[in-house]
Amino acid sequence: MNPLLILGWCRQMSWGFVVMISLVVASAQTPDTNDLQRVLNQMDQTAASFRTAQAGFVWDQYQKVVDDHDVQKGTVYFRRTGNEIQMAADIREPALKYVVFSEGKVQFYQPSMDQVTTFNTSKDRAAVESFLVLGFGGSGKDMLKSFDVKYIGAEKLNGIDTAKLELVPKSVKGRNMFDHIWLWVDTSRGVSVQQQLFDPSGDYRVAKYSDIQLNQRIPDSVFKLKTTGKTKFVSPQG
């Protein structure tokens, strides 16, 4: 609302009426503020005891230029090691692929080519990590460090009560990757069950998670690529 209009009204109205208007506005804003804080608190509680997470996933990558969807299915894993959250993904459909994020590096293995492509994210590690492990193991407080967060509303997804949040990256580098994100958080467990990440170009990615298991033992081998003696390793520059 235009501040000049508010000042004009204040001159014309009695003080008591202005106070009443202020109370109405405050009461309208409080529920959203309280709802957001409850979600963030639940994420804080989950993060405090978080060790691992495992879930089935469906990733749907939409490319606006060709108006096409690339859908991948598989299992994703997360675990906390010290202050780091590591991620691994076993992609089974439409083709077998493996992804591991650890120590500031993303490794992408394509068995059909027997090739591992390694991306060093050390320069942008914070931004990359905030996206890769979003909603799994991170606290609400940490999320507020990287994103401006807004509570949109409550939604039920596949029988699960969720809170839908909108996240806008605070850093320019982050916004160059995704200008905003929708995050659906399980209100009882404090983890993400669905995400939609919007690219500035108009592309977007939807990630849906199911059968989420928290703090179960995950073998170390899950976070190691299953390469062969003939695997080729490449590291793109730039």
What's the rounded mean pLDDT across residues 163-187? 93
What 8-state DSSP symbol labels residue 58?
E
The sheet carrying 52-63 orders its strands as 147-157, 160-169, 180-186, 192-198, 204-214, 52-63, 68-81, 84-93, 97-102, 105-110, 115-120, 232-234
| Residue 16: both structure tokens together | 């008591």
Cα distances (angstroms) measured from residue 101 to each of 16, 23, 86, 127, 157: 59, 49, 6, 13, 28
Cβ atoms within 10 Å of 192's Cβ, excluding its own: 24
Radius of gyration of the chain (CA): 22
Residue with token string 């979600």? 39
Of the candidates 36, 29, 34, which has an alpha carbon nearest to the alpha carbon of residue 165?
A: 36
DSSP-derived pairing of the beta strands 115-120 and 147-157: unpaired
121-168 residue pLDDT tens: 766 666 666 677 788 888 899 899 989 999 999 999 999 999 999 999
The pLDDT assigned to 126 comes to 65
The predicted model scores a pTM of 0.81
The pLDDT assigned to 210 comes to 96
Tell me the residue type at 155: E
CA–CA separation, 39 vs 163, rounded Å? Answer: 7
Assign domain 50-234 to its CATH architecture: Clam (2.50)
> Which of 24 and 206 is assigned the larger pLDDT?
206
Residue with token string 């394509």? 110
CA–CA separation, 158 vs 156, rounded Å? Answer: 7
> Which of 2 and 176 is assigned the larger pLDDT?
176
pLDDT band at 238 (very low <50, low <70, confident <90, very high): low
The pLDDT assigned to 4 comes to 35
74-122 residue pLDDT tens: 999 999 988 888 999 999 999 999 999 988 889 999 999 999 999 887 6
User: What 3-state class would DSSP assign to 103?
Assistant: coil
Kindly tell me if the per-residue pLDDT of 31 is higher than 90. Answer: no
What 8-state DSSP symbol labels residue 220?
G
